[in-house]
Amino acid sequence: MNRVLNHFSTLLLLLLGTESIGLLIAETFSISVPPLTWAWLAVLCVLLWVASSFRRGILIGMPLCAAVLWYLYKIDEEDLLIEFQDLLEHVNAAYFGHFSGSGSVYLYSDQAAGHMTALLFVLFLLAAFLSVSLASGGFRISLSHLATIPLFAVCITVNGTPSVLPVLGVLLFWCGVHLSGDVCRPADAAGKGMLLGLLPCLLVLSGLLLLYNPSNYQYSERDIDLSQRFDRFGNALSKWMNRDGGSSEGSSTTGETSLRSYEPPSGWRSGTDDLVLTRSFDYSALDEEAFRVESDAAGSLYFRGKSYGDYRGNAWEAAIENTHQRALGFTARAVQNGRQEERDYQLQSDVAYDLLYLPYFSIADTENDVKFSNDGLRNYGGGFFQCYEDLAAVSRLSLSGSSASDEKQYREYAHTYYTRLPDSTRFAMADVCRSFGLTDDLDTAELILAVADTVRSRGIYDINAEPYAGSDYALDFLTSTYRGYCIHYATAATVLYRALGIPARVCEGYLVSFLDNSTVVVTGRDAHAWVEVYLDGVGWYPVEVTASPADSPDSQAYGMEQSPEQPEESPAEPDSESEPETPVTPEDQEEGPAEGSETSEEDAGGGSESSPDGKDGADASGRLPVLLLRLLLIPAGILLLAAAVYGRYRFLRSRLRKRLSVTNGRLLAVAAYRQADRLCRWGAEIPAVIRTTAEKAAFSQHEINEEEQKAVLSALNRLTNETYASLTTRQKLAFQYLFGNI
C-alpha cells in the first residue's frame, strides 16, 4: 500500500507543480493558449512519471512523449519557430512594461494566433526535470526548488498580482515536497504522510485567502511613503559616495569630459529619474548656478532638459527612451520649412550634467525623444528657431520627404504611450473636463489653449505649497487645493490633455530671459516645468500653463523667480455638484455597507427540512431489506447535497444582507459597487449612478445622503433583476443558490 501511495503522491506533485507554474507563466506573459493545453500537459506529465518511476518505464514513457510532441507539432497550424519568436516577444513586452516602461505599452504585432505547442515544449522540459527530481534517491527538495523557485520569482516580480489558483498550486507543491521528504523510497510511508499533510495545508491557505482577499488589496499611502523613504535614503547615500573633493575647475573647453555627471539645481529634484511630487520645495537650490548662456535672441527662451512618461498620481515616472524615430527634431525641421529666422546660442557650465539643455527649436538631433544625452560636454552651442508664440500657426506647418514618413510612424507611438493614465484618474478627469466645458469637439489648437487657460485660472501660484495629502495631485490641484507652482500646474494640464486624447508630457528645464546678445547666469531660480503637446504632422510643442506670480504680474518667467504672496484673486470655487468624484479602486476600506436594497426575500427553506417518507420498508422481522436501504441512500445523498447548497445560499444571503444593512451611506455605496461588480461576471454592466456614487464615497469627504442611497439601491436591485431575467434556467439556479445573488 505504501508503494502505491508513494507513486501516487509523486504523480500528484508532478501535476501540481508543472500545471501551476505553467498557468503562472501563461498569465504573467499574456500567452494565449487554449484550455486543451493543460490536458496535453497532464498527458505528458503522466508519461514522464511512468518513465521516471518504474524500472522499465522509460521504454514506455519517453517514446510516447516523443510521439505526443510530434503529433502536436504536426497538427499545429502555426510555424513553431514563429511561435517561439512570438513567445519571446511576449516575454520582452512583460519585462519592458514592468521594469523599463513602467506599465507602458510595448509595441509589437502578434505573429502567431496561439502559443500552445511552443509553451508545451518549454513546459515539457520543466516537467522532465521535475519528474527526475521527485523520483531521485536524494536532494529531492533542493532539486524541485531549483526548478520552480526561480520561475516563480520571475513571474511574481513581473506580474505582481497573479491569480490565486496558480500561486496556491505552487505553495501546495512546495508543502507536499517538504512533507514527502528529501529521499524517495518506494516502501516508506512518505506518500501517506504527504497526502494527509496536504489537507491541513490546503485548509490553512484557503483560510488565509478568505481573511485576506488579494482582489481587494490596494497599495496604501503608507506603502508609497515607505518606498519613497528607501528612495531618499539611496539617493542620499549615492550623493555622499559621489561627493566631489571640492576642487572646481571653472569653464572647460568644448568636448572636455567629466568623470561623472552632476545634477543641475532645481527646487523639486529628488536625485532620481522620476519626478516625485510629494517632496517639499528645496529653497537652497534657488541661488545655485546652473550654467551661463549667451544668445542673440530676445525675450524668454525655454532650455529643455528632459520629459517624463507615466503618471502614477503622486509622481511622474521617467519616460521611455524611445528610439523609434528622432522625435525631438521633427518640430525644428517643420519650423525650418516655414522659413523662420535662425538664432544662435552658446552655453557653458562648470560641471558636465547628464543631459544637454537646448533651446526650442534646436537643430540638434538625437535618437532619444526624452532628452539629449551628454557625453561630458560643459561648453556647447548651436542654432535654433525661436518660434513658439503662435500655436495655430505652428500647427499649420508641415514636414516633407522622409521626415514626414518618420513622423507618421512616431505619431502612433505618441498617441499610444503619451495618452496613458491610471483608470481612476481617467474616470475622474472625464468628469472634470465636462465640468470645465472642455470637449474634444474643439479644434486641437483651440482645445490646447483652452486647457492651458483653464489650468492657469484654477490655480494660485504658491512656491510655499506643501505636499498634498491626497494620492492624485492633478485631481487635487483642480478640485480642492488650487495651490502650487509650475510642477503642479504642468501635472494638472498634462493629465487633462491626456484625458482629452491629446498626447502630452511634463517637461522640465530652465526659462531664461534675454536681452539682445546678452550673457545670462542661469540659477535654480530659473528652473521651470511646462507641458509638451504633440501636434500631428509637426512634433512636440511647448505650452505654458503656469499662472504668473501675483507680486510680479509682468514677469514672463512663470517658474521659480519669486516666492509669491497671495494672488489678488482666488480662482472660483468649483460647484459642489459638478466637482468630480474620484473613481473607485475599491480600496482597503472594509467591505461593509449599507442598508439592503435588494427586495428578494429568503426563500422559504422547507426543502432541506423535509424528511423521507415514513415508509421504512421494515419487514416482519423489523429489518430493512438491503435493496430498499440502498435505494434510500440516493435521496439521502440528494438531500444532504441540497442542504449543503441551501446552507451556502443562506450564508451568502445573510452576509450580503449584513453588508447592506448598515446606515453609513459611504459604506453602502462601496458595498453596492462591489456587489454590482460581482454581477459583471454574468454579463451585467455597472450602472453609472452606482459607479459615480462609489467613487465619491471612496475618494472624497462628501457624505452620501438618503436620496443617493435610495438611487444606488434601486439601481442595484434593477440590475440584479435584469441580469437574472437574461439567464438560462441552469444559470438562474447557479446565480441564485450557488452565488447568493438573489
- Per residue in 510-530, pLDDT tens? 999 887 667 889 998 899 999
In sequence order, what are the beta bridge partners of 556?
A: none
Cell numbers at 71, concatenated: 503529433
Residue 697 is predicted with a pLDDT of: 84
Q: Which phi and psi angles does 728 have, rounded to 5°? A: -75, 170
Whether residues 181 and 78 share a domain: the answer is yes
Give yes or no for a contact between 119 and 34, defined as CB atoms under 8 angstroms apart. no
User: For residue 630, what pLDDT is reported?
Assistant: 55
Calpha distance 347→175 (Å, rounded): 64
Query: Would 500 be classed as within a structural domain?
Result: yes
User: 491, 512, 543: which is the final residue of a domain?
Assistant: 543
Separation CA 513–CA 518 (nearest Å): 10
Number of folded domains in the chain? 3
Q: What are phi and psi of 644, to 5 degrees?
A: -65, -45
* CA separation for the pair 675, 556 (Å, rounded): 53
Question: Which regions in the chain score pLDDT beneath 70?
Answer: 1, 77, 95-113, 160, 186-187, 212-262, 270-271, 321-326, 338-339, 365-367, 388-389, 516-517, 549-634
Q: Are residues 537 and 634 in the same domain?
A: no
- Indicate if 358 and 453 belong to the same structural domain: yes
For residue 237, what pLDDT is reported?
62
Instruction: Say if 598 falls within a structural domain.
Output: no
Report helix angle 116-134 to 80-95, nearest 10: 80
Report pLDDT for 583: 39
Do 150 and 284 reside in the same domain of the chain?
Answer: no
Residue 398, C-alpha cell as written in the block:
508641415
* Peptide bond just before 361 cis, omega within 30 deg: yes
In the DSSP assignment, the letter for residue 368 is -
CB-based burial label for 200 (10 Å; 0-12, 13-18, 19+): exposed
Do 383 and 343 form a contact (C-beta atoms < 8 A)?
Answer: yes
In angstroms, the CA 111 to CA 42 distance is: 27
Residue in the block written with cell 488650487? 482
Residues in the chain, total: 742
* Residue 210 resides in a domain: yes
- Helices 190-211 and 164-180: angle between axes, nearest 10 degrees: 150
Residue 616 is predicted with a pLDDT of: 39
Give φ, ψ of 312 to 5 degrees.
-125, 25
Are residues 205 and 314 both part of a single domain? no
Domain limits at 728?
Answer: 626-738
Q: Are residues 200 and 271 in the same domain?
A: no
Is 460 inside a domain boundary?
A: yes
In a domain, 234, yes or no: no
Q: If you compute the radius of gyration of the chain from its CA atoms, what whole number of angstroms results?
A: 33
Q: Are 380 and 449 in the same domain?
A: yes
Whether 223 maps to a domain, the answer reads no
In angstroms, rounded to a whole number, what is the distance separating the alpha carbons of residues 69 and 124?
9
pLDDT value at residue 645: 78
Q: How far is CA 457 from the centre of its chain?
A: 32
130 occurs within a structural domain = yes
**Which pLDDT score is estimated for 475?**
92
CA 506 to chain centre: 20
Inside any domain, residue 245: no
Pair (201, 312) in one structural domain:
no
Check residue 569 and give its pLDDT: 40
- Tell me: do 531 and 678 sit in the same domain: no
* Spatial separation of the C-alpha atoms in residues 688 and 544, rounded to whole Å: 35
Q: Answer yes or no: do 415 and 300 share one domain.
A: yes
Q: Which of 543, 558, 583 is the last residue of a domain?
A: 543
> 417 with 531, same domain?
yes
Domain boundary among 516, 543, 570: 543
| 3-class SS of residue 329 | helix
pLDDT of residue 506: 95
**191, 277: one domain:** no
Distance CA 507, CA 304 (A): 7
